Amino acid sequence: MGRFEVRIGGFGGQGVVTMAVVMGETLSLHDNKFCVQTQSYGPEARGGASKSEVVISDEEIDYPKVQEPDVFIAMSRAAYLEYIDGLKEDGILIIDQDLVDVEGNLPDGVTVYKVPATRIADKEVGTKLATNVVMLGAFAAITGQISVEGLKAQVEDRWPRFAKTNLLALELGMKAGEKAKST
């Protein structure tokens, strides 16, 4: 695998940065990949558009910034509108279908996957705080860029007190990702 770039956008408080950090930890600690994670958010932080990015490679990464994301995960409308630019042709757009409508022209060949991440976290997991973990599971199922075993181990490591809840969120996210792929 060459360079693979992921952009995650949402509003402050959705766990966008944590999601990217867990992704990076999983890739480097469990999947033996090189990765770099960066983040940015407005001065309003909670509630404002924020993004986090991960660059993944089998080789050392010489430039840490995402230039043309292969995947954009949009978890809010504001983040979608602000960060959609640059998505690669034939890229992947994963949206939280209850919060994001696809607007404007997408680059040629972009595949859109709709995942009800917030609804799954709220209704099936029991807490909206798990939305980012649901979306991590969907990302794993849709792209195959990260190992499920590694994600499970990292979720247990990162949140030992909430491992059961987050493993459920991860599992439900993977199921939602598989469902999105088949529709």
- Who contacts 66 (Cβ-Cβ below 8 Å, separation ≥6)? 5, 6, 7, 38, 53, 54, 55, 86
Supply the pLDDT for residue 91: 97
- Helices (H), ranges, the chain: 16-29, 77-83, 117-119, 131-143, 148-158, 163-182
Instruction: Region of 75 please: left (phi>0), alpha (psi -120 to 50) or beta.
Output: alpha
Mind listing the pLDDT tens digit for each residue in 53-87? Answer: 999 999 999 999 999 999 999 999 999 999 999 99
- Say which amino acid occupies 27: L
Q: CB-side exposure of 30: number of CA atoms within 13 Å? A: 19
Nearest to 91 by CA among 63, 107, 110: 110
Q: Which two tokens stand for residue 99?
A: 């919060």
Asked if pLDDT for residue 44 goes beyond 80, the answer is no
Q: How confident is the model at residue 39 (pLDDT cuts 50, 70, 90)?
A: confident
Asked if pLDDT for residue 43 goes beyond 70, the answer is no
- Greatest mean pLDDT among 33-42, 134-143, 153-162 lies in 134-143
Contact status, residue 125 vs residue 119, Cβ threshold 8 Å:
no
Q: What share of the chain is helix, strand, coil (3-state, %, to 5)?
A: 45, 20, 35
> What is the domain count for the chain?
1
SS3 69: coil
pTM of the model: 0.94
Q: What is the rounded average pLDDT for all residues in the chain?
A: 93
Proportion of the chain above pLDDT 90, given as a percent = 85
> What is the domain-level CATH number for residue 42?
3.40.920.10
Instruction: Give the structural domain span for 17.
Output: 4-182
SS3 49: strand
Asked if pLDDT for residue 47 goes beyond 80, the answer is no
Cα 179 → chain centroid: 17
- Cα dihedral across residues 57, 61, 66, 68: positive or negative: negative
Mind listing the pLDDT tens digit for each residue in 97-133? Answer: 999 999 888 999 999 999 999 999 999 999 999 999 9
